[in-house]
A and B are shown apart, each in its own frame.
Chain A
Amino acid sequence: MGDKEEDVIQFLQALLEAQAGVRKAIVVRSVEEAQRENVFAAYILPDEEYIDRTFPEDEVRRVKKWSKVFDLTQLRQESGASQAEFNIAGWNSSYTRQPIPPQEMHEWVDRTVQSIVELQPRNVLEIGCGTGLLLLRLAGRCSRYVGTDIAPVVLKKLREQMSALPTGWDNVTLLERPAENFEGFGGGEFDAVVMNSVVKYFPNAAYLTRVMEGALRAVRPGGAVFVGDVRNLWLLWPYAFSIEFFQAPAAMSLADLLERIHRRVVCEDQLVVSPAFFVALQERLPELARVEIRLKQGQYSNEMTRFRFDAVLRRGDGKEAGFAPRWMDWEKQELTLDSISAMLQKDKPERLAIRGIRNARVEKDVSGLAALKKASPSSSVGQFKEMLDSMEFRGIDPQAIWSMAGSLGYRVDLSWKAARADGSFDAFFWRPGVSGASKYRCVAWPDPVVASQAPGRNTNAPGSAGRREKFIEQLSSYIQQSAQKEVGSINLILVDEFPVTADGRVDLKALPVPAVVAR
C-alpha cells in the first residue's frame, strides 16, 4: 500500500471521528475490491445514545405495526379452518417457518394454563388475549375475566369463536386497547394480570416498564402478575445460532454463517428480555414482593421450551427475603441426574438446593456458538456440524428433573433468576407434605450474575437496525460531500466493539465481514 493511500485512510479516519455519533473509526482498504483504487471499508463504533436521540423510535407506530401483523395473520384464508377453541394461526416455527405442530402448541397452552390455575385467580385481566388460547380455557374458572388486545380483527375473530362454542361468556369482557392502557381499572382490582407471549411485541424497555407498573397497580396485594413466554436476552445469540445453523446449507462458509447470526441478532424485531429486568424492577417498585423466573415445562424441544421463561411477580408489602437454603454446586460437585436421584432416594432430605445445572436444552447451541467464533471462517457448515456432533455434552434436560422429582414424591422449582449467559439453572427440591413446607414456596434464589438497574440494559432494542441504517446513510452522504475526490467508494460498517489482540491493539483480522487486509 502506498503512502498516498495511507494518507487517504488517515484523512477518512479523522473525518469520520470528527462526526457526531462516531466514537471511534478504523478505515482500511477493502479487500473485496483489491483490484480497484480508493475503495475502502470503515468500521465505526457508534454512540448509540446519539443514534437514539437523532433517529427517535416512533413507539406508537411500532405498536400499531404489530397490531397490523396480528390482524393480517387472521386474514389468512386458511385460518378459517382453525378450530374455534384452538386458533393457532400465525404460530410458526423460526426453524422451519412452518406452523408449529398442534401437539406442541397444545402442550404449551396446557402448561401455561396450569401455571395460571395454580395462582387460583377468580378475577383476571389478560393483556393481549389474542385468539383466546388462554381465555377460552380459563374464563370458565373465573367470576370475571377481562381480555384486552390491540388488534381489532383478532378480537372480532375471538368473538366469532366464542359465539360458536356452547359455553356462556357472560363473565367475559373484551376491550380493544394497547397493553399500556389501564384506563377504567381501579388499583388492586384483579387477582391476577396475565400477559402471555405478549411482551415480545412491546417496542422497548420503557414501554415494558410502564406496563409492568400498571399491571402491579391493577392486582390486589397477594395477587400476581404472570408474564409468560418471555424471550431470554442472555440466550439471544445461542438462539440465533440455533436457527441459522439449522437453516444453513452444508456448503456455506462459517464466515457467512456468523454474518447471518449477527444480522439476525441486530435485526431482531421483537423485544428480548433478561430475567434481570424483572429483578431490577423490584428495586423500583416497593409493592413488588417477590419475583420468580421459571423455566418452561414441556416434553417437546422447541424455541418456547428452550429459549423462553415465565416470570411471576407477586404484589405484597415490601420485598420478601425468602428461604435461604445451602446451595450445592452442580459443576464443582460433578452432579448428574442419577446422582441427584440417588441422593433424594437414599437420604430423603426435606429439601435440596442445587445451583448452576448445565441446561441440556441449550447446551449444544451455547457451545456451538463459542466454537464457531474460534473456528476457521473458511471452513464449511458441514465440517463444523461433524465437529459439533462429536462433542460430548453432559447437561440435564429440565423436564427430566421435573419427571424424576415427581416420581419420588418431591416438588421441584427450577429458576433462571440468576440470568447466566450459558442458560444454566438452579433447582430447589422439597417435599410438600412435611410441616412448615409452605416456607419453601418463597426461596431466596441466587441473584443475577449481571444485574443492571437501567431497564434498557436488560433488553435488546427492536428496530434499532433501521435507526443504525439511517445513521450510516447520514455518514455516507457526509463522506460523499466532503471527500468525493479521495474516495472511490466506502463501505461503512457499524460494530458493537473492536476486537483486540493480546497486547490491547485493535485486531484487524478479527473485524467482521467484509474481510479486511492488514494496513
Chain B
Amino acid sequence: MDRIAEVCQFLKTLLAGRGDRQPFTDSTSLFLSGRLSSVDAVELVVLLEELCGIDFAETGFDQSMIDSIDAIQLLISEAGVPR
C-alpha cells in the first residue's frame, strides 16, 4: 500500500471511531470542518512522522496542513518524501 492509501485508510478508521461513515474526497476538509478532532490530528501527526519522517517541530504545525488528502499530499511532497 502506498503512503497516501495508508493515510486514507487511517483517516477512515478515525472517522469510523466517531461513528462517521460518510465518504470523503481528496479535497474534503476533515479537521477544520469538525469531522475529526485535535486528538485525531495527533494520531495522524504521529502516523505522518513515522510513515514519512516529517518532523513537525521543524516544519511548524497548523491543522490546515493535514486538513485534507490534497493538503497531506502537498505536505509529503514538500518534505521530499516519495509517495
Residues of A that sit less than 8 Å from B by CB: 65-66, 68-69, 72-73, 75-78, 97, 153, 247, 263, 266-267, 269, 465-466, 469
Cβ A465 vs Cβ B57 within 8 A? no
Q: Please name all residues of chain A whose beta carbon is closer than 8 Å to the beta carbon of B18 when the two chains form the complex.
A: 263, 267, 465
Cβ B39 vs Cβ A77 within 8 A? no
Q: Please name all residues of chain B whose beta carbon is closer than 8 Å to the beta carbon of A267 when the two chains form the complex.
A: 17-19, 37
Cβ B57 vs Cβ A69 within 8 A? no
B56 at the interface (CB under 8 A from A): yes
B82 at the interface (CB under 8 A from A): no
Contact code string B28-55 (vs A, CB < 8 Å = 1, else 0):
0000101001110111011000000000
Residue of A nearest to B46 (CB): A68
Cβ B34 vs Cβ A72 within 8 A? no
Residue of B nearest to A463 (CB): B39
Cβ A269 vs Cβ B20 within 8 A? no
Q: A66-B39, A68-B42 are in contact. Are A76 and B60 (CB under 8 A)?
A: yes
Q: A72-B61, A77-B60, A97-B32 are in contact. Are A263 and B42 (CB under 8 A)?
A: no
Minimum CB–CB distance from B64 to chain A (whole Å) comes to 10
B79 at the interface (CB under 8 A from A): no
Cβ A75 vs Cβ B20 within 8 A? no
Q: A97-B32, A97-B34 are in contact. Are A469 and B16 (CB under 8 A)?
A: yes
Q: Please name all residues of chain B whose beta carbon is closer than 8 Å to the beta carbon of A68 when the two chains form the complex.
A: 42, 45-46
Q: Please name all residues of chain A whose beta carbon is closer than 8 Å to the beta carbon of B56 when the two chains form the complex.
A: 72, 75
CB contact between A76 and one of B32, B46, B61 (< 8 Å): that residue: B61
Residue of B18, B19, B20, B45 ringed by the most chain A CB atoms within 10 A: B19
Cβ A65 vs Cβ B42 within 8 A? yes
Q: Please name all residues of chain B whose beta carbon is closer than 8 Å to the beta carbon of A263 when the two chains form the complex.
A: 18-20
Cβ A69 vs Cβ B17 within 8 A? no
Cβ A72 vs Cβ B45 within 8 A? yes
Rounded to whole angstroms, the CA-CA distance of A72 and B46 in the bound complex is 11
Rounded to whole angstroms, the CA-CA distance of A260 and B34 in the bound complex is 11
Rounded to whole angstroms, the CA-CA distance of A263 and B16 in the bound complex is 11
Minimum CB–CB distance from A68 to chain B (whole Å) comes to 5
Give 17 pairs: A residue, B residue, CB < 8 Å, sorted on A: A65-B39, A68-B42, A69-B39, A69-B41, A69-B42, A72-B45, A72-B56, A72-B61, A73-B38, A75-B56, A76-B61, A77-B60, A97-B32, A97-B34, A267-B17, A269-B37, A469-B16
B78 at the interface (CB under 8 A from A): no
| Contacts A68-B46, A76-B62, A269-B39 known; 10 new A-B pairs at CB < 8 A | A65-B39, A65-B43, A68-B42, A72-B45, A76-B61, A97-B34, A153-B57, A267-B17, A267-B19, A269-B38
Q: A72-B45, A76-B60, A77-B60 are in contact. Are A266 and B34 (CB under 8 A)?
A: no
Q: Please name all residues of chain A whose beta carbon is closer than 8 Å to the beta carbon of B37 when the two chains form the complex.
A: 267, 269
Q: Please name all residues of chain A whose beta carbon is closer than 8 Å to the beta carbon of B34 when the two chains form the complex.
A: 97, 247
Minimum CB–CB distance from A463 to chain B (whole Å) comes to 8
Q: Please name all residues of chain A whose beta carbon is closer than 8 Å to the beta carbon of B42 when the two chains form the complex.
A: 65, 68-69, 72
Minimum CB–CB distance from A169 to chain B (whole Å) comes to 25
Cβ B38 vs Cβ A69 within 8 A? yes
Q: Please name all residues of chain A whose beta carbon is closer than 8 Å to the beta carbon of B61 when the two chains form the complex.
A: 72-73, 75-76
Q: Please name all residues of chain B whose beta carbon is closer than 8 Å to the beta carbon of A97 when the two chains form the complex.
A: 32, 34
Cβ A465 vs Cβ B17 within 8 A? yes
Residue of A nearest to B19 (CB): A263
Q: A97-B32, A269-B39 are in contact. Are A469 and B60 (CB under 8 A)?
A: no
Rounded to whole angstroms, the CA-CA distance of A97 and B19 in the bound complex is 21
Residue of B20, B42, B43 ringed by the most chain A CB atoms within 10 A: B42
Q: Please name all residues of chain B whose beta carbon is closer than 8 Å to the beta carbon of A469 when the two chains form the complex.
A: 16-17, 19
Q: Please name all residues of chain B whose beta carbon is closer than 8 Å to the beta carbon of A269 when the two chains form the complex.
A: 37-39
Top 6 A-B residue pairs of the complex, sorted by shortest distance between their CB atoms: A75-B61, A466-B17, A267-B18, A72-B61, A68-B42, A77-B60
